Structure 1
Amino acid sequence: MRCSITAERLGISNSVLKDLGKNSSKAQANALNRTIAGMRTDATRLIVPQSGLKRPQVFKSFTLIKASPRSASPSAQVIIRGAPVPIYQFSAKPTAPMTGKTRGGVSFRAGSGRAVYRHAFVGKMSSGHVGVFQRTSGRFMTSNPNRQAINEMFGPSVPQFAGKDTVEPVVLEKAQARFDTNFQQQVRRFLPNK
């Protein structure tokens, strides 16, 4: 998911840009860079309670491409990348690998509540990776043809959470207000009499 913003898109008047002169690009770039940093913070604050993921997991999914003050028409981008997140990272319980008969399944955080996969179990692979797994019907392990193969279970990705109606429009609306405030600060910085 990618969101690009430019000063023109956010509605800066040409007369203000002319008054700023050579400082125009610098003022735009500073305001845009503060705005995209705020967008990442706002999105993280909204995604964490909805997803059940920890803040650092969400925060590191964002990449900021900052605007350059040397550009004639500065632009900045917020890029959100991420693959489906393993169910284990959604506060799965039990947290320790299950051995023997796995009754009760695994619960994990889903929105404001918890969901349960009755036939899932927490397992630790020989590589040390811990995850929530489920046996597949019709497929068998190559190392032991008498046992069914297992698949790790995954939930939505961070970009999917970011694209929800409860996140994206709110972040974009706050970004507009934040840019206006930041740009006015830059105008006062470079044109103290305005």
Structure 2
Amino acid sequence: MIIANASEYLALSRAFRKLPGEIKAKAFARAGKRATQMARTAYLKRAAPRLKLPQKVIRERTSARFNAGGNTSDVVVRSGWIPLHKLGATQTSKGVRVRLRGSYRHAFIAKMDSGHVGVMLREGSSRLPIRELFGPNPAHDITNNDAVYLELLAEVIDEALAPRVLHEIDRLLP
């Protein structure tokens, strides 16, 4: 456990003000980029068990960028509803079983003339119409549970950004 008092923070801020602007800009840019990647990783670790999806599936739909000029970070999740077939669906005698999601009775895997493959379920007792079944939507989970993810980002900023800035300054100083 690290204990610091106000005088240490004042001394640190004075020393930081004396640094050349170029070193400060480089240190903030590097620390910001690393903190952005850490935020993406933390999001993946938090979202995967919540959505019952492998991290790889969410990672493919997530991008992280840092804008050094504006000192802004973006962790963007662009995702529609994930088709069950892409989550590892297998046909069984009773229906379809999907890894990490369970069984869907009376469902079947169908390949359309266009080449699209999906897990389908009949709307009624007749042959048609059928509808495709989908898994979760990671972007939808963020909008529905924003408090969980805002808390996560606050944790990353508190725990990672300041130590990373100091680390980068230490690397840049001769």
1:18 aligns with 2:10: no
CA RMSD of aligned residues (A): 3.0
User: TM-score with structure 2 length normalisation?
Assistant: 0.73
Structure-2 separation of matches of 1:78 and 1:17:
28
> Which of 117, 128, 134 is 2:104 aligned to?
117
Partner of 1:30: 30
Residue pair 1:25, 1:74 contacting (<8 A) in 2 also: no
Alignment deviations for residues 142-193 of structure 1 (CA, whole Å, 9 cap, x no partner) = xxxx73111111122122345647962335413431212211102223446x
| Equivalent residue runs for 1:119-138 within 5 Å | 119-137=106-124
Structure with the higher helix share, 1 or 2: 2
Partner of 1:173: 155
User: TM-score with structure 1 length normalisation?
Assistant: 0.67
Residue 52 of structure 1 deviates from its aligned partner by 4.1
Partner of 1:184: 166
> Which of 153, 159, 167 is 2:139 aligned to?
159
Residue 91 of structure 1 deviates from its aligned partner by 3.2
Runs of at least 5 residues in structure 2 that lack an aligned partner in the other structure: 1-11
SS of 1:148 mapped into structure 2? coil
With over 3 angstroms needed to count, the CA separation of the structure-2 counterparts of 1:35 and 1:43, relative to structure 1, is same
Q: Give the number of aligned pairs.
A: 160
1:106 aligns with 2:105: no
Residue pair 1:51, 1:109 contacting (<8 A) in 2 also: no
AA in 2 matched with 1:128: G
Give aligned-pair identity as a percent.
28
Structure-1 separation of matches of 2:88 and 2:51:
10
